[in-house]
Amino acid sequence: MISRVQQQQNESKMLPGYALQNAFSKGRKYTEEPHPFRLDFARDRDRIIHTKAFRRLKGKTQVFVAHFGDHVRSRLTHSLEVAQVGRVMARALGANEDIVEGVALAHDLGHTPFGHSGQDALDSILKPYGESFEHNAQSRRIVEVLEVHPPHPFGLNLCAETLECLCKHPTLQERQQYQLLPQNFLEGQIVDVSDMIAYLAHDLEDGLHSGLLSFSAVQKLAIWQKIAEENFSLSSLVNTLMTDVVDFSFQNITKLEPKNPEEIQMLSHPIVQFSQEYVENIGELRKFLFQELYRHPTVVHQVHLGVKIIENLFEYYMENPQYLPEDECHKEDGILLRVKDFIAGMTDTFAIQQWEKIFKKS
């Protein structure tokens, strides 16, 4: 058996100084007995996979609601694709693959039903109460509070580095609360860019397969000229984007020569980036998807339905808190926070079922 200590020693030999390493982790909130052969960052990943919130991602919209077809992406398949892209780039850039994979799998745990429209709807609803909603912040709340890993009273008791990497787009309040440095760790930055690569490629592919996007229109995009293959495929676009990020980011690393993870955090800008040429091409692609796919009448209809359901459910549970689920995690929480957590955790199907049960009573 290769022990945990031996694995940590091997990790220190293989990874450069700027990568996160298990041997130098700040540890967990609650002290645990070290496992004889499992590393801490890998255990974080495994705890995330076994959460109820992770399993619910299969029923949450990416762009298309589930009944649109069996092959369109859900939040679960999206997260798996982000993890795959992230591991490839982590290996090429000398980052810690386990923590990249774990954070990639966890980054959307806090997403609402009905995609970004659901998030925007819940955020708008909460504004008059002096509150807000952002799915990355909710993801951290899930792993720190709402999901429980016995014997700890709250949360999964993840390593400090995993939690910090989860803060992709922190607000000023979050920066102060968690004492975050200007930039994320290299591993967190990799997940951030992997998220973009994954959704750009698979949203484009889903749009083409659904018939909502025209292949001839896609061929006119500047990014298409970067792809060597004659026919569009998810892998060809992903490979093209990953190659640009890895090449440009490695140039940044070589030029800056960071000696430890904290040096990357203190930089004035992210170290993991697309080249300027690709930034412009991706801007064009994102604009194209926004105009032609996300604003397509078929998608907009789904959006309006999802927003209505969330608004109605929020009002109902605020007026009828006795129907909210009871659990230990919310023992000291007010009604507003309990309603927010309950609605954010719903799958599309469960939200629709609850809405129909409440508002379509015979």
In tens, the pLDDT along 12-64 reads 999 999 999 999 999 999 999 999 999 999 999 999 999 999 999 999 887 65
115 phi, psi to nearest 5 deg: 65, -150
Residue 71's pLDDT is 66
Q: What would the two tokens of residue 139 be?
A: 């993801």
CATH at residue 159: 1.10.3210.10
Report yes or no on 235 lying in a domain: yes
Identify the CA nearest to 98 among candidates 47, 45, 23, 51.
45
Report yes or no on 44 lying in a domain: yes
Residue 362's pLDDT is 46
Mean pLDDT score, 292-317: 89
Q: Contact 48/146 with Cβ under 8 angstroms? A: no
Report yes or no on 274 lying in a domain: yes
Residue 87's pLDDT is 98
The pLDDT mean for the chain works out to 90
Q: Where is 250: in which H helix or E strand? A: helix 234-256
The DSSP call for residue 265 is H
For 257-279, write each residue's pLDDT tens digit. 999 999 999 999 999 999 999 99
Report yes or no on 313 lying in a domain: yes
- The C-alpha atoms of residue 322 and residue 324 are separated, in whole angstroms, by 6
291 phi, psi to nearest 5 deg: -75, -40
- The C-alpha atoms of residue 250 and residue 109 are separated, in whole angstroms, by 30
- Domain span holding position 142: 39-359
Report yes or no on 8 lying in a domain: no
Question: Quick check: 153 pLDDT over 70?
Answer: yes
The count of other CB atoms within 10 Å of the CB of residue 52 is 11
Q: Contact 294/64 with Cβ under 8 angstroms? A: no
Report yes or no on 233 lying in a domain: yes
28 phi, psi to nearest 5 deg: -110, 160
Residue 229's pLDDT is 57
Mean pLDDT score, 295-322: 90
Identify the CA nearest to 302 among candidates 226, 210, 239.
210
Report yes or no on 288 lying in a domain: yes
The count of other CB atoms within 10 Å of the CB of residue 252 is 17
Confidence bin at 286 (pLDDT 50/70/90)? very high
For 59-86, write each residue's pLDDT tens digit. 988 765 545 556 677 899 999 999 999 9
Mean pLDDT score, 93-102: 98
Number of domains in the chain: 1
Report yes or no on 28 lying in a domain: no
Mean pLDDT score, 102-125: 94
Residue type, 159: C
Residue 65's pLDDT is 53
